[in-house]
Amino acid sequence: MVLILWMGMAVPVEMKSIMAADNGPQSGKSDQTIPLEMFQEAFDLFVSQQPDLVSSDVVISRFKVARNNPVPAGEVDIQLLRTNNRPFSRYVRVKAVISVDGIPANNAEVSAWLDVFETVVCAARDLPQGYILKKRDLYEERRNISRNMDEVVTDTALLVGLMAKRSVRKGDMVRHSMVEKKPVVKRGDPVTILVESGLLRVTIPGTALDDGFAGETVSVENSMSSKKIFARVIDEVTVRVDI
């Protein structure tokens, strides 16, 4: 369940229909103006259904409705639609399709400012470039991630064993762009080139010409012939030529 806050007040959102009761004619007129509270209720439900906010706390502010034109009297239904696939945070604007008694009556626009809070992984100490991350180097904390929702890491286990691509300061959120897998072999490393075919098994000394991860194909130099060949990384000292 998403916890949504309006002006500092907690509002647990239940998954339910937001079909509004018939407001009826107002002041004897045949039209009605939809109250702001009905749009807020629809927006609450809409936010709670966003897959990128499934475990988040959301603070909503600067809520506005544009083109809230009068509609005919009757039972009102508001359907909100995202207009793009960008992360649902910071300033958001969605289309509001308004129907009365099942008949489309107006297209309004809802906008708001969303601050999204999520438990993310942070650096427990300064991490230098090239450092291999360990569990003790990391901790999890609830942070405002609105500026970089698609970059944050929410599970410490996903970072352990990865290498810092650049220096990370103590207390900073560790983002996906800050880390990478550590190459199993590095350019210039001596390696054993393994060639197998049936019962034949041949090993040849060589030199890695690329950085490579386990299972990745890299170029290596056969030290006996000085020829460049391609081989698959097996471990820190072995590459294999697939025949």
Query: What CATH number labels 117-180?
Result: 3.90.1210.10
Closest CA relative to residue 164, chosen from 190, 142, 134:
134
What pLDDT, on a 0 to 100 scale, did the predictor assign at position 12?
A: 47
CA 84 – CA 94 distance, rounded (Å): 9
8 A C-beta contact, residue 58 and residue 114? yes
- Which pair of structure tokens corresponds to residue 67? 């083109």
How many CB atoms are closer than 10 A to CB 38? 19
What pLDDT, on a 0 to 100 scale, did the predictor assign at position 7?
A: 55
Closest CA relative to residue 153, chosen from 135, 132, 178:
178
Query: What CATH number labels 190-241?
Result: 2.30.30.760
Q: Is the pTM of this model over 0.75?
A: no
8 A C-beta contact, residue 5 and residue 40? no
CA 94 – CA 99 distance, rounded (Å): 16
Which mean pLDDT values do the consecutive 10-residue runs of the chain (243 residues) have?
65 43 49 94 93 88 96 96 84 95 96 94 96 96 90 94 94 95 91 89 94 91 94 93 83
CA 78 – CA 3 distance, rounded (Å): 21
For the chain, give every residue range classified as CATH 2.30.30.760.
190-241
For the chain, give every residue range classified as CATH 3.10.129.
3-116
Q: What class is the 3-116 domain?
A: alpha beta
What pLDDT, on a 0 to 100 scale, did the predictor assign at position 242?
A: 81
CA 89 – CA 113 distance, rounded (Å): 7
CA separation, residue 216 to residues 73, 139, 188, 239 (Å): 66, 31, 16, 10
For the chain, give every residue range classified as CATH 3.90.1210.10.
117-180
